Amino acid sequence: MNTNIVIFTDLDGTLLDHDSYSYAAAEPCFDYLRKNQIPLVYTSSKTAIEIEELCIQTEFFYPFIAENGGLISTPIDFFSKSSQNKKQYRKTIIGTPRDEINQVLKKFEDSYNFKSFKQMSLEELIKHTGLTKQQAIYANQRDSTEPLLWLDDDSKLQAFSEQLAQYNLTLVSGGRFHHVMGNHDKATTMSLLIEQFSSYYNNQITSIALGDSPNDLKMLENATYGIIIPNPHAPKMCINNHATLQTAKHSGPQGWNDALLELLQELLK
């Protein structure tokens, strides 16, 4: 395994196509990662069970970050020299439990117009996400976040966010939905995993992060190298001067593949 590089990637709109959720265009880079044994850490607002399915499909059995940093899921004994089973995962909850989040959201149902995943029927989830029935069921099996569809004026979002903060909750904009969660994010959870990788391999880690929305920006800035994947469907990022940030030429998995492959070949030549 290449212990110098660890890659953290957002999924929807980044590795996965915004409309089809396909990662087919990323296969050349997948092959390069496998050949060089470079860990690929999925880092997403998706649920643990959704990401486990993707790990199986792509055959990348590494730790992953789910629910916007709300939990880390790690193959059992992954960071143990004697690890034999890397396909069974154990979750570590970091964020605020989902039930507590929804108790707070209930207080604001008469003040703002929104609809959370918990409030949606299975048919509504399928309609708004474009997922299959089974995928929608998995998307709703959450531990530490609550996605919601904002149906009110955008001008009210700031006030809503400030009121949630009084309950130690954060409102984060993703590619399609807003996510209500505790005081955690992808960047802080990424840092925890970088420490684990560095300690286990007794080696300083070069981290590469890829993302497409403001939800990913802090993660991109805190990585050694950050790659922005253009997404016309996501809110625009407010980017300050950052020497190690670059923008891919294409959106979705094609941009992911081309930009990451170019950077890796430069770093490993």
pLDDT tens digits along 81-106: 665 566 789 999 998 999 999 999 99
CATH 3.30.980.20 domain residues, the chain: 98-181
CATH 3.40.50.1000 domain residues, the chain: 5-94+185-268
| 93 Cβ contact partners less than 8 Å away, ≥ 6 residues apart | 70, 71, 143, 144
Reading phi first (left if > 0) and then psi (alpha if -120 to 50, else beta), residue 23 is in alpha
CATH class of 98-181: alpha beta
The token pair at 175 is: 């590619």
pLDDT in tens, 39-77: 999 999 899 999 999 999 999 999 999 998 999 999 988
Task: Return the ∠ at Cα 126 (arms to 47 and 23), rounded to 5°.
Answer: 60
Neighbours of 127 (CB within 10 A): 12
Give percent of the chain above pLDDT 70. 96
**What one-letter code names the amino acid at 70?**
G
Neighbours of 123 (CB within 10 A): 10
CATH class of 5-94+185-268: alpha beta
pLDDT along the chain (269 residues), means of 10: 85 94 97 96 94 95 95 90 73 92 96 96 93 92 95 94 96 82 93 94 92 92 96 80 87 98 93
Residues marked active site are found at: 10
